[in-house]
Amino acid sequence: MQHNEEKTCWNCPAALLKGNVDFRACGQSIAVIQNKISEEGLLIECTRRPELGMFEPSITFEQCPEWRETQYGYLLKEMRVMILGIDGYLGWTLALKIAKLGCRVSGIDNYLRRNAVAEKGSKSVVPIADMETRLKTAKEQHGVDIDFRELDLLDRDELAEYLREVQPEAVVHYGEIPSAPYSMVDAEHAIRTQHNNTLGTLGVLFLIKEICPEANILKLGTMGEYGTPLTGRPIFEGLFPADAVLTWRGQEWSMGGELTPRDPASFYHVSKVQDTFNVYEACKYWWLRSYDVMQGVIFGVHTEEVAAHPDLRTRLDVDEWFGTVINRFVAQAVLGIPLTVYGSGEQIRGYLALEDAMECMVRLLSSPPEPGQYDVVNQLSQLYKVKELAEIVARVGSRRHGLTVRIQRVENPRIEADEHPFLVVAKKLRENLGYQPKTPLEVEIDRMFTLLLQPRVRGRLESVRDTVFPKTWWSGEHKETMTLEVYEPGTHVMAGYSPDLVVSDHDGDE
């Protein structure tokens, strides 16, 4: 059985809501609307099958000839998907994956990421082609046509024109500045991050409302929005579950359905929290539908589609602004720099391989929320301590690639708890959408070593060596980061809290 076979036109972005309920102007809660629907009925028109006229939205994905079965569930045939930020690490990878699955992919980018990495004096250590070459190679290797427009999503007139032309049935919004350290450099970088991300997203929401209000909006948030609750309170999937209760002054108050507290960890994370509220409100005011994807830290370089040709590779950054931790550790191991663990290294975070992240996104595309539904998924496959990751990278580097790898604890330039409980609920992707993690951490780390040790890539890595060591302090000071201790892998025991990941009701804590 496919996870989405019983969904109906009600979830389908090809259905135009018609008839006697004026959804988008009513400003009512879903419960009130649903009452109206059951009393007065609801009719739709299908943009793909106009011959059906007006009808009740009851055809299931399994029954509808416009939805076809794939290994990730039913997928709308030739679904028109627009990717904002298509030139990025995730955007390009997803574009190839869904184009190969038969989606009609379009995308925009203003190359902000390429320029910001250059500002740091760095570059993608895996060479990446320019967009023209990427598109040409995608056609040659995979037989897919991807439509690209170079534009800044803050330019609403141009974006409006493109949205009108494409009429997307799904919009994947990756087009933001994704770096916490970048946002903490100084006022200019903090303001740029919040301006680009928050105001960019707000503008996009208005355009979607005007031009393609039925589109499934996949908005990228981050697990970093939640922070690390020191009480050990579970990190639910964005919203409190129905049975959550606050007891205060001897009385019980239901928390069910309310947004869970956010405790962002940098000005970048604040921009994501602000986005969360804006997306939530847009769903409430205008009956847009969205998944807010609280994504863990992504690692790796591999999907079948990007590995098919050197000109299809996605970027991989290792500098202190844009490199994510596992990617940076592998680079440091290749460069012979002891792996830089900040502070105690007991920080726990959620992680996900690139390949798995792409599968999750396809599943979310295949299963649009209902009109007006703001939904949240915690998208990660495993929790690790930073110190533990350093051990795993060191092990793979030495056993499989003959490298001598050491680990260094350095002063923590961030303001964060070094030791904290971490109880994360991430059930929806697995229980409702059929996702099972496929890429073991060691396998992906091994692939990264193999790629980074290629002479051409290694040469590029050497040329950005100076950008790897952390220098950006959350305190705003401009100073070197001191090494506290250098040690051999396997000599330090894990202490403190254990990571706790709940992926199913059967895990039994709720």
Ligand X SMILES: NC(=O)c1ccc[n+]([C@@H]2O[C@H](COP(=O)([O-])OP(=O)(O)OC[C@H]3O[C@@H](n4cnc5c(N)ncnc54)[C@H](O)[C@@H]3O)[C@@H](O)[C@H]2O)c1
Active site residues: 222, 268, 272
Instruction: Give least dist CB 306 to ligand X, A.
Output: 13
Decide if 99 contacts 105 (C-beta within 8 A): yes
Asked if 324 interacts with ligand X (CB under 6 A), we say yes
Task: Kindly tell me which of 9 and 294 has the beta carbon lying closer to ligand X.
Answer: 294
Asked if 350 interacts with ligand X (CB under 6 A), we say no
- 195 to each of 153, 154, 199, 271, 501, how far by Cα in Å? 12, 9, 5, 8, 34
**x/- binding map, residues 292-311, to ligand X, per CB under 6 A?**
---x-xx-------------
Decide if 338 contacts 332 (C-beta within 8 A): yes
Task: Kindly tell me which of 21 and 306 has the beta carbon lying closer to ligand X.
Answer: 306
Side chain identity, residue 184: M
How far is it, in rounded angstroms, from Cα 136 to Cα 143? 10
Q: Of the ranges 43-51, 86-94, 138-146, 163-171, which one interacts with ligand X (CB under 6 A)?
A: 86-94
Asked if 90 interacts with ligand X (CB under 6 A), we say yes
C-alpha triplet 264, 266, 271: angle, nearest 5°: 70
Q: Which two structure tokens, joined as six digits, stand for 44?
A: 């739709």
Instruction: Give least dist CB 336 to ligand X, A.
Output: 25
Instruction: Give least dist CB 116 to ligand X, A.
Output: 8
Count of residues that interact with ligand X, criterion CB under 6 A? 28
Question: For residues 145-184, which are near ligand X according to CB under 6 A?
Answer: 152-154, 174-178
Task: Kindly tell me which of 178 and 489 has the beta carbon lying closer to ligand X.
Answer: 178
Instruction: Give least dist CB 252 to ligand X, A.
Output: 35
Decide if 403 contacts 397 (C-beta within 8 A): yes
Asked if 111 interacts with ligand X (CB under 6 A), we say yes
Task: Kindly tell me which of 23 and 162 has the beta carbon lying closer to ligand X.
Answer: 162
CB neighbours of 352 closer than 8 A, spacing ≥ 6?
Answer: 295, 296, 297, 298, 299, 360, 379, 380, 381, 382, 437
Decide if 74 contacts 60 (C-beta within 8 A): no
Strands, E, within 47-86: which ranges? Answer: 54-55, 67-70, 73-76, 80-84
Question: For residues 113-152, which are near ligand X according to CB under 6 A?
Answer: 113, 152
How far is it, in rounded angstroms, from Cα 450 to Cα 454? 7
Instruction: Give least dist CB 13 to ligand X, A.
Output: 22
Decide if 92 contacts 116 (C-beta within 8 A): no
Q: Which long-range contacts (CB under 8 A, 24 or more apart) does 33-40 make?
A: 33/372
Instruction: Give least dist CB 146 to ligand X, A.
Output: 14
Task: Kindly tell me which of 82 and 112 has the beta carbon lying closer to ligand X.
Answer: 112
Instruction: Give least dist CB 319 to ligand X, A.
Output: 12
Instruction: Give least dist CB 290 to ligand X, A.
Output: 14
Q: Of the ranges 85-93, 128-136, 234-242, 502-510, which one interacts with ligand X (CB under 6 A)?
A: 85-93
Decide if 223 contacts 380 (C-beta within 8 A): yes
Task: Kindly tell me which of 222 and 366 has the beta carbon lying closer to ligand X.
Answer: 222
Task: Kindly tell me which of 88 and 470 has the beta carbon lying closer to ligand X.
Answer: 88
CB neighbours of 77 closer than 8 A, spacing ≥ 6?
Answer: 66, 67, 68, 102
With CB atoms as reference, the residue minimizing the distance to ligand X is: 88
**Residue in the structure block whose two tokens are 């109206």:** 36
For residue 235, list its beta bridge partners: 424
Q: Of the ranges 104-112, 259-267, 338-346, 501-509, which one interacts with ligand X (CB under 6 A)?
A: 104-112
- 424 to each of 132, 133, 225, 501, how far by Cα in Å? 41, 41, 13, 5
Asked if 390 interacts with ligand X (CB under 6 A), we say no
Task: Kindly tell me which of 2 and 314 has the beta carbon lying closer to ligand X.
Answer: 314
Asked if 220 interacts with ligand X (CB under 6 A), we say yes
Decide if 257 contacts 244 (C-beta within 8 A): no
Asked if 196 interacts with ligand X (CB under 6 A), we say yes
Instruction: Give least dist CB 155 to ligand X, A.
Output: 8
Q: Which two structure tokens, joined as six digits, stand for 202?
A: 């707000």
Asked if 200 interacts with ligand X (CB under 6 A), we say yes
Identify which of 274, 238, 233, 269 has the alpha carbon closest to the alpha carbon of residue 256. 238
Task: Kindly tell me which of 23 and 182 has the beta carbon lying closer to ligand X.
Answer: 182
What distance, in Å, lies between the first and last C-alpha atoms of the chain? 26
Asked if 89 interacts with ligand X (CB under 6 A), we say yes
Q: Of the ranges 20-28, 95-103, 108-116, 304-312, which one interacts with ligand X (CB under 6 A)?
A: 108-116
Asked if 110 interacts with ligand X (CB under 6 A), we say yes
Q: Of the ranges 39-47, 106-114, 127-135, 488-496, which one interacts with ligand X (CB under 6 A)?
A: 106-114
Dump the DSSP string for 139-192. HHHH----EEEE--TT-HHHHHHHHHHH--SEEEE--S---HHHHTS-HHHHHH
Q: Of the ranges 107-115, 137-145, 209-217, 397-405, which one interacts with ligand X (CB under 6 A)?
A: 107-115
Q: Of the ranges 81-89, 96-104, 401-409, 440-448, which one interacts with ligand X (CB under 6 A)?
A: 81-89
Asked if 238 interacts with ligand X (CB under 6 A), we say no
Residues at the contact surface with ligand X, assessed by CB under 6 A: 85, 87-91, 108-113, 152-154, 174-178, 196, 200, 220, 222, 295, 297-298, 324
